[in-house]
Amino acid sequence: MSSRSSRSAPVDGFRLAFDRHGISGGPAVILLHGWPGNRRDHRHVVPLLTDIADVVVPDLRGFGGSDKHAVSVQHFYSASAQAASVVGLINELGLDDVVLAGYDVGSRVAQSVARMHPHLVKALVLSPPLPGAGDRVLSPHAMHEFWYQAFHQLPIADRMIDGNPDAVREYLRHFWDHWSGPSFQVSEDDLDRLVADYALPGAFTASLGWYRAGAGTVAQSLTELPPGRAVKIHASTDVLWPQHDPLFPPEWADRLEHYFVDVRLHKVNGAGHFTPVECPEEFAALIRRAVS
């Protein structure tokens, strides 16, 4: 077994920082993180997989140790652009039959890879967001939760937060506290590590490229094709849906079969939005099953 950190070859001028763990040449697993996070989101999942898999954990474009370029967000920070970097990493490392697992931003990117390059993907393990929310994102409750996606479009978000460690800490703390389950609290050490990434000049703004490219849930849900017209994902898919995610209530899991050919829903009690951190055993168990 091995564990090492590297940087990928550039795709569209972006290099990804990534860690590689486990069995060299073993079944391939790629773990994708969310916002406001980085590749350390999977710190509890990785040790549960290294005995059976070659585990690759990248920072996505604009996050963590990966490149952060001030370029057209629509062309370079969209879901398809993020997916291109993941595909580039898969090809560079010579991986095939990959199990892609992700939540939040990572879930959407994994789905994009599976749609665009189905021959590379053996299986998906996903937590929300998933397609099918539709115009339910416009309900009063949802609008109360998704306010940040509109805020992230505004230049004032950069001026108020970017490069300001105190502002970054309180902003990130809000989401890690509010989106997590009732028994979870982010540790000060883990928050320190996130702030060290997100408070660097330009880093917070780079992380907003995802939303400014129109890849946030509200924009995506209102533009996705309705059931019956959507191109379904064919890869075997397991969805881990947490009980206490304020963004994505469990009742939004009712349309998965319209978007996936082979999908299984697994609900997990007690957890909130950050499934790899809050319920890593359940997350890893689905990945292990997909690998076998």
Residue 256 backbone dihedrals phi, psi, to 5 degrees: -60, -35
Residue-level pLDDT at 1? 46
Two structure tokens written together for 66: 């990966």
Two structure tokens written together for 193: 């590590």
Give the number of other CB atoms < 10 A from CB of residue 178.
12
Residue-level pLDDT at 2? 56
Q: Domain 6-291, what architecture?
A: 3-Layer(aba) Sandwich (3.40)
pLDDT tens series, the chain, 292 aa: 457 899 999 999 999 999 999 999 999 999 999 999 999 999 999 999 999 999 999 999 999 999 999 999 989 999 999 999 999 999 999 999 999 999 999 999 999 999 999 999 999 999 999 999 999 999 999 999 999 999 999 999 999 999 999 999 999 999 999 999 999 999 999 999 999 999 999 999 999 999 999 988 998 888 887 777 778 999 999 999 999 999 999 999 999 999 999 999 999 999 999 999 999 999 999 999 999 8
> Residue holding tokens 């996130």?
194
255 exposure class (CB count in 10 Å sphere: 0-12, 13-18, 19+): middle
Q: Who contacts 190 (Cβ-Cβ below 8 Å, separation ≥6)? A: 40
Sequence spans of domains, the chain: 6-291
CA atoms within 13 A on the CB side of 105: 32
Q: Which helix (H) or strand (E) holds 84?
A: helix 79-93
Q: Who contacts 98 (Cβ-Cβ below 8 Å, separation ≥6)? A: 28, 29, 30, 90, 120, 121, 122
Report yes or no: 34 and 57 within 8 Å, Cβ to Cβ.
no
Q: Which of 126, 55, 47, 49 is nearest to 95 (CA)?
A: 55
Q: Are strands 17-22 and 2-7 parallel, antiparallel or unpaired?
A: antiparallel
Helices (H), 5-78: 73-76
| Residue 26 to residue 1: CA distance in whole angstroms | 10
3-state secondary structure of 14: strand
Q: Which helix (H) or strand (E) holds 191?
A: helix 188-198
CA dihedral 14, 225, 127, 120 (to 10 degrees): -50
Rg (the chain; Cα; Å): 18
Whole-prediction pTM value? Answer: 0.97
